Amino acid sequence: MPGAERVPHRRGPSGPMPQVRVVRLGSSAATAILPAMTTVTEGRFQCPCCDYYTFAQRSRHDTCPICWWEDDGSDLGEIDKVSSANHISLREARTNFASYGAADQAAVSLVAPASARVGLRRESRARGG
């Protein structure tokens, strides 16, 4: 059976979702860092900053363990609006994440290491910014 397990497409609460691939982390270290993310399912929402599927719900001011963006509900439709929770715009945060792996340079030491991202689901939404 090549490839990862697949679960059937279903419509999520925020609209159509792409086909979901269930992946499991192989590293026990990563599991220790991200216990809620050992299995990625269609119940996860994409972080607007790093594009990983990290949030169980949106707009609850949870902090993304991958990039340390605080989810105040901001999304790509308002990419240049300064987020009051994060004190920068989503565009700046996405640029920061691309540059040094965190939404804000001050959070570089707080985010999960790149090794913990292996196997986590991510779909880039970058379109010229």
Residues that bind Zn ion (CB under 5 A): 47, 49-50, 64, 66-67, 69
CB of residue 52 to Zn ion, shortest distance in Å: 6
Q: Of the two residues 42 and 94, which places its CB atom closer to Zn ion in the complex?
A: 94
- 55 forms beta bridges with 45
User: Whole-number minimum distance, CB 2 to Zn ion, in Å?
Assistant: 30
| Residue among 20 and 94 whose Cβ is closer to Zn ion | 94
Inter-residue contact 64 to 49 (CB < 8 Å)? yes
**In this complex, which beta carbon is closest to Zn ion, that of residue 50 or of residue 116?**
50
Q: How many residues does the chain have?
A: 129
Burial of 47 (0-12, 13-18, 19+ CB in 10 A): buried
In the three-class reduction of DSSP (H, G, I as helix; E, B as strand; rest coil), residue 33 is classed as helix
Please report how close the Cβ of residue 73 comes to Zn ion at its closest, in angstroms.
14
